[in-house]
């Protein structure tokens, strides 16, 4: 089987090499920026939805580290020869860390979504377990066919394991659609419902980039295609991790504000989105008293009657 099928075996021009370094660096910095943003704003979310924010921080933190590794291995994996960059034995590591990242972060994306949706208790635990398993198997089976067997040069293995990976991807898609549709019904008429729907659509569309790029590995191609593969994967990671994470954070804030307004939970500071005030800051004892008064109101009214 020809080694030309593996993307890390293609020779790059100076321009192609520079563009890939640029894409990897921008993606890494974007992921780091969102990690910091999430870190400093975690107290904007009530405890009920904070798991989603923690998952988002893990996702962008892990992804940032993987991009640091990608940049280092990309620099070590190619040798400058005249006007070209020629891959050496380390070039495979300028791609493989993506799978290391996805094996952990895709299951975390499932946790992130379910954490701000309307599932709770045993139902949430069951669906989370199914989603984590499907996400892990989707990535790990793709890794076997795309990297492990014959170093990614066996077309038969690539397609066989790609189909197996695709089965788990379908399961994952069904799960995401179910969570988003149910959440949309439960939150109907609220800003959180629209954002949850948009987050689900964004995730479903963005995930399609990965099997497309995986399929391109089975074609004969040169440096130009490899460059676009790296750019598209970097852009998809930004959208799927930073863009989706921003929507999840917004949903968590919107639902936190609703809980504060109704006295279900508390936050010491007011909540704002785009300079629009969502709720006032509350102290635990104040909110408890308010909630108790609200719950007791019907009984008090009946007593007065």
* Residue pLDDT, tens place only, 200-213: 999 999 999 988 88
* CA-only gyration radius of the chain, Å: 23
Greater pLDDT, 266 or 293: 266
- CA–CA distance, 93 with 8 (Å, rounded to integer): 8
pLDDT at 287: 47
Q: C-alpha distances in angstroms, 179 versus 53, 126, 174, 175, 231?
A: 18, 12, 9, 6, 30
pLDDT for residue 89 is more than 80:
yes
Closest CA to 87 of 1, 5, 3, 12: 12
pLDDT at 263: 78
**43-63: average pLDDT:** 93
Distance in Å from the first CA to the final CA of the chain: 87
- CA–CA distance, 253 with 190 (Å, rounded to integer): 13
**131-147: average pLDDT:** 95
Which residue has tokens 């701000």?
Answer: 116
pLDDT for residue 304 is more than 50:
no
- CA–CA distance, 55 with 188 (Å, rounded to integer): 25
pLDDT at 302: 43
pLDDT at 285: 64
Average pLDDT, the chain: 87
Closest CA to 41 of 283, 267, 284, 287: 267
- Residue 270 tokens read as 């007011």
Residues 6+ away with beta carbon under 8 Å from 227: 12, 16, 19, 20
Domains and CATH numbers, the chain: 3-261 (1.20.1070.10), 262-305 (no CATH)
pLDDT at 9: 87
Look at 127-141, 227-241, 285-299 and tell me which has the smallest mean pLDDT: 285-299
The two most distant CA atoms of the chain are separated, in Å, by: 94
**At 298, is the pLDDT very low, low, confident or very high (cuts 50, 70, 90)?**
very low
Query: What are the tens digits of pLDDT across the range 23-40?
Result: 999 999 999 999 999 999
Percent over 70 (pLDDT), the chain = 86
pLDDT for residue 236 is more than 80:
yes
pLDDT at 87: 94
pLDDT for residue 289 is more than 80:
no
pLDDT for residue 47 is more than 70:
yes
């Amino acid at each position: 089987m020809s080694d030309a099928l593996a993307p890390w075996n293609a020779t790059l021009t100076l321009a192609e090499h520079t563009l890939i370094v640029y894409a990897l660096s921008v993606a890494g910095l974007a992921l780091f920026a969102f990690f910091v943003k999430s870190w400093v704003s975690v107290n904007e979310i009530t405890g009920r939805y904070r798991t989603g924010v923690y998952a988002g921080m893990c996702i962008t933190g892990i992804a940032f580290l993987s991009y640091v590794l990608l940049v280092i291995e990309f620099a070590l994996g190619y040798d400058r020869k005249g006007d070209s960059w020629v891959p050496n034995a380390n070039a495979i590591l300028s791609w493989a860390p993506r799978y290391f990242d996805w094996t952990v972060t895709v299951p975390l994306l499932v946790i992130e979504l379910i954490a701000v949706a309307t599932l709770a208790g045993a139902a949430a635990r069951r669906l989370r377990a199914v989603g984590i398993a499907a996400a892990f198997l989707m990535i790990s089976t793709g890794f076997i066919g795309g990297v492990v067997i014959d170093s990614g040069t066996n077309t038969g293995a690539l397609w066989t394991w790609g189909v197996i990976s695709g089965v788990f991807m379908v399961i994952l898609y069904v799960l995401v659609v179910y969570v988003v549709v149910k959440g949309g019904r439960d939150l109907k008429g609220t800003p959180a419902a629209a954002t949850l729907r948009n987050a689900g659509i964004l995730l479903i569309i963005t995930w399609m980039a990965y099997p497309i790029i995986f399929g391109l590995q089975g074609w004969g191609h040169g440096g130009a295609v490899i460059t676009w593969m790296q750019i598209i994967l970097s852009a998809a990671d930004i959208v799927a991790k930073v863009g989706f994470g921003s929507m999840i954070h917004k949903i968590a804030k919107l639902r936190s504000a609703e809980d504060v307004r109704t006295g279900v939970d508390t936050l010491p500071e007011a909540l704002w989105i785009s300079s629009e005030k969502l709720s006032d800051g509350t102290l635990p004892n104040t909110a408890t008293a308010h909630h108790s008064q609200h719950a007791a109101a019907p009984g008090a009214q009946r007593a007065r009657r």
